[in-house]
Every structure is written in C-alpha cells, then in structure tokens.
Structure 1
Amino acid sequence: MIEERYEPRREKETGRIEAFSDAVFAVAITLLVFSLQVPALEDPLTSEHLVRMLLQRWPSYLAFFISFATILIMWISHHAMFKLIDKSDTPFLFANGFLLLLVTTVPFPTQLVATYLTTPVAGVVCALYAGLFLMTNLVYNLLWWVAAHQSRLLKGSVSPMLIHTRSRYYALGAPCYLLALLLAFWSPGVSIGICSVLWLFWAFTTYERRPAREAYGNKGLNQRKKKDAMRGDVTMETGPE
C-alpha cells in the first residue's frame, strides 16, 4: 500500500500586506466617482440644456478617467511586484504604507482638476496633480529598492536581469512627472497630456513578456518546471543548473 504524503502549503509572508494594500487601492479607486457630479439645471428643463451642461463637465470625465486608469495600473504593477517578493521587514512595511498614503490622496487633486481645469488657476491644480504622481512614483521606486537591493526580500528564482529591467522601467516615471509638473504652469493641457500618456506606458511595461529563462534564470526555471512536473502539468526537462 502506497502512503501518500502531503506537505502543508506554506503561507506567503506578504499575504496580509497584499490583502491590506488591495483594500486600500479598492477604496481609493471607488472614491474617484465623487469627482463626477450631476449638473444642476435651471428652468426650463430641456434635453438640449441637459446635454450642454453634461458636455461642459468634460474636465470631470477626463480627470476621473486618468486617475482611475493610473490607480488601476498602479495596482496591477503592485501585484506584479509582489509576485517577485517572498519576505518582508519593517522598512518594507513603512515604504508600502507610505505608498498607500499617497494612493488614498489621489481623489483630492482629481476633484481639483475636475473643478478648475478650465479656469485661470488650472496651472496650479495641474501642478498639484502631477506632483502627487511624482511623489507616488518616487515612493514606488523606494518600495522596489527596499525589496530588490541585494535581492533582500525577493524570491531566489528572480534573475538579476529581471531586477535591472524592472528598476529601469520604474525609474522612468519620475522625470516624466517632474516635466509634467513644471509644464503645468505654462500649459496645463500638456501637463495633463503627459499624465495621460504615462499610464499607457505603465500598462505596456508592467507585464512585459520575457523568455522564462531570462526572467528567472536557469536555476529558477528548473525549480518552476519541477513544481509543474510534480503537479503533472509538464514533463521534466530542466536546463543546466
């Protein structure tokens, strides 16, 4: 008689951090809807008047969409980062908490942009908007650095090439958001345009498809194949250790 042995699955050390972070992202992205307000119509109530009032609120729609897309991509990137992280420590917890603090404040400058984008103070509100994303990007880089420096908190299978690639992509955001901040006083529209384009960039780079051997290294790839083979998913065929 063959006795089957099952080893209990080890709980991921960062599980609670991820759950808490997901909740904060969810609340922040939900609060953005308050930047969309129903227009107050005066008599006489006509369809043309309603359509005109709705069209006049286009800054609200623009600010909502950009902020929603940015928080969404930020959450996806946060999730992708934590797939590479296996441990946590106090500096990492504080860095992640600081990031969540900034995420929860996104609805405030979003409301400012929605309200004042077409007014003489548009430069100030766009500078605040870009400035918040600049700070968020800097803290995001800090979070990654705390985890990736000397691979302190990363899984052993993560290759140096993947660490370098992620670090390079994350670092690109700060100069762009700084440019958006400075240009806000000259052209608020250009500033908002830069913020709009950046979330598209993050969307295409967050889950960059790379050859498995390049991303995880030979040793990490072999470990993954062994686990898959034990589940019966693939045939064992490992590369050189």
Structure 2
Amino acid sequence: MSSLDKRQGKDLPRYAKIRQMNRGSYDRDLAFDILDKGMVAHVGFIHEDRPMVIPMAYARIGDKLYIHGASTTRIIKANGGGVPASLEVTLIDGIVVARSGFHHSVNYRCAIVHGTARLVEDREEQVSALAAITDHLLPGRWDECREMTSQELKATGVLVLDIEHVSTKVRTGGPVDDKEDLGTDIWAGVVPVVTAIGQPLAAGDVPAETKVPASVPAARKKFA
C-alpha cells in the first residue's frame, strides 16, 4: 500500500474506508478500469427504510456513473431528488482451489463507489447517458439504432451517481495452503474464469442478407 493510499484513507468517511488494506486501494484509475470492463452493476439504496440492491446496466462518463430503468421503478421514482447510494462491480478471474476447503477463494477485481444519485432531467444529458449505457455493452450500437421516440424517452428514467468516494479490492495468484498440506496428493491451483461474447443469433424476422453490425465484434473485442 502506498503512502498516497494511506493519506487518502484518512480523509474518507467511515462508510467508505476499507477495513483491511491487504488487497485494497483507493486507486481511482484502477477503479475506473474495473468499472469500464464490467457488464452489470449492483446498486444499493434505501427504500421505505429497507436496504435494496438492484442489478442494473450502467456507463461511466468521467466522474459520473449513469444507470437507467423504467421511470416507474422504485429506484427511479424514489431517488430523483438526490440521495446517498452505492454501486459495486465485480470481475471474477478465477476459482482458487486449495487443499483445504477453508483456503478456497476466488481471484477477482471489484470497485465500490459511494456517491449521491439524482434524476437526470435535462433531455440532452438523458440522451447522452442512454447512448453511453448502450455503447458500454455494444460499442457503437447507439448510432446503429433508430432514434428513440419521445414516448420511449418519457418511459425511461436515468439516474446519475456522482462518484464521491471509490475503492477497489483485487486478489490474484494461487492458493495459500497450510505448510503441512504442501506436496500432498490433493490437487490445488486456479481454474480460470473468462467472460466471452458468443456468436450472435439473429431474430427470426431479420432478412437473411442483413449483416451483423460492427458493434457486435466491437463488444467481443472489448470483453475478450
């Protein structure tokens, strides 16, 4: 852990501090890299005095994260005025297989964001956010689609989460077994976990001569 990490940690509110720093950091560039490579964000908020966690599509633009859902959903309707929220993205890189069940683990990279979520009311920002969310999974897809109608925009709510605090945790490497278990005939190691984009399956009404759009191979390259 660098001195910069220590100094940043002292300035954070308690809820944003990492309890154990052996795998953690406050490296914003690393956090942004994880966020940009993830597919699904789990968003936490309070609704009617109950903690709620919702998986959502998202995109990052600078120090802001955009999430969207139907304008009638709880997370959109209840949080429009600006409320505390958190967002987490985890990338799983491997299953760590040890000689003892106690020492099994996973190799992973995760980013945890704390901030304030508010409803996007400006139409231009809303459209830019929806384009970014679409292109996050399929780079360039927004420009391949027809323009959204006013009714579609009205039915879609967008929240922006201002990134106030961010932290990461990362585990790499093999199992950490007890010394007395080393060299035994129980298999140990790492089983890699990969995310891959498969072959696209066209909808039944797509004309046979219609080519697969450029956004599909772009997504395959991004998430390889």
Per the normalisation by structure 2, the TM-score is: 0.26
The structure with the largest alpha-carbon Rg is: 1
Give the helix-richer structure, 1 or 2.
1
Return the structure number with greater strand share: 2
| More contact order relative to length (CA 8 Å, sep ≥ 6) | 2
